[in-house]
Structure 1
């Protein structure tokens, strides 16, 4: 799909040193009415998937330290897929998901750019109930609670996709809808541990950003 320009970013997270292809800026837009209408993506939001957001960097740093324990892992709204790529580099059982028409292309390109096997990918609109993809012991997301409908949609996805014993990790830059999501998660038996984190260089406490860690035991 022509009509956009890209750049390559240097990424250094712990022992991982690699590169990531991203859209050059937030004004990049490849017009395709049939695709954008079918996916519900406006021209104003089209380029958001192709940026490296602070929440994704924070989540990548978190998953770099996770104990994998043979968990089946799913990243929701992966965008460029940095956390998924870090987990692939670590040898995890990771599946990435998004609904943007170019997410898989960028994810595959970035895996090859870092000499990694392709990350398994699911086209997963949050408004649709997924079927026959099994359950996951760990579900991840970065800055995925920014719209009014997101808490209910994501809570429904967790209900369908989370294993009886599961953890959900979300890096959130202080979105107001996080409390609504936390209440829905509590109804599913998840306990919340919330940690304040700096998302931007130079931030001082008290930080707006949070690592939301939801845990449920069977």
Structure 2
């Protein structure tokens, strides 16, 4: 995730990001996410897309027990934490600069018996030497499609990590035309469908899977 500077006179819409703790209830657990907008910007606050995707997972959209999952651009790690609490084996990833902060949230919010199911690992999109192709059953991303210059590397990463049976779930708010551009790019490589919309938070969830050879004929 990109880092943006802290702005002292930010508008009221950003005030929740300035709170040191954001508290949620998922999977019968109280989750307290530490935030640090001043130091790490967007990588260290909980965005609405992460809350909506976590809620969607808790609703039983996917069978997570025993599932191998990865969260891309995890930031605070909320989605990965919830997935682990729901039974998945999760690799929670972000760039190196955000890893220690991410790791602290994961360790603070997972019971000891759940922690072995969650690994925090560095991943810069497009740099995939430490991952196996088709490694994951489920790829999760919340609000990760907002920088157009990262689209090519993100698509490369999705293509690499997916097998023919993998499912991608991306939660996002469609803010600009570039967001639709990414979805169009995604549809060239994957079968994409909108599976959920939260009108209160104006967040969409898209499900994508690799196209079969038959579909491409």
Q: Does TM, normalized by the shorter one, top 0.5?
A: yes
C-alpha root-mean-square deviation of aligned residues, in Å? Answer: 2.5
TM-score between the two structures when normalised by the length of structure 2 = 0.75
The alpha-carbon deviation at position 115 of structure 1 amounts to 4.2
Question: Counterpart in 2 of 1:109?
Answer: 104
Instruction: Indicate if the aligned counterparts of 1:97 and 1:124 stay in contact, CA closer than 8 A.
Output: yes
| Unaligned segments of structure 2, at least 5 residues | 1-5, 7-17, 213-217
Partner Cα separation in structure 2 for residue 198 and residue 8 of structure 1: 25
State the shift of 1:71 in Å: 2.6
* Structure holding more helix per residue: 2
TM-aligned CA deviation for residue 166 of structure 1: 1.4
- 1:94 to 2:90 alignment: yes
Moved over 6 A (4+): none
What SS class does the counterpart of residue 120 from structure 1 fall into? strand
Q: Secondary structure at the match of 1:80?
A: coil
Q: How does 1:178-189 map to 2 (within 5 A)?
A: 178-189=179-190
Question: Match for residue 122 of structure 1?
Answer: 121
SS, match of residue 163 in structure 2? strand
Pairwise CA distance, 1:125: 1.3
The number of residue pairs the alignment matches comes to 187
2-structure distance, mates of 1:169, 1:115: 22
> Matches of 1:73 and 1:13 in 2, distance apart?
18
Which residue, 67, 70, 75 being the options, matches 1:71? 67
- Equivalent of 1:131, from 120, 129, 132? 129
Match of 1:190 in 2: 191
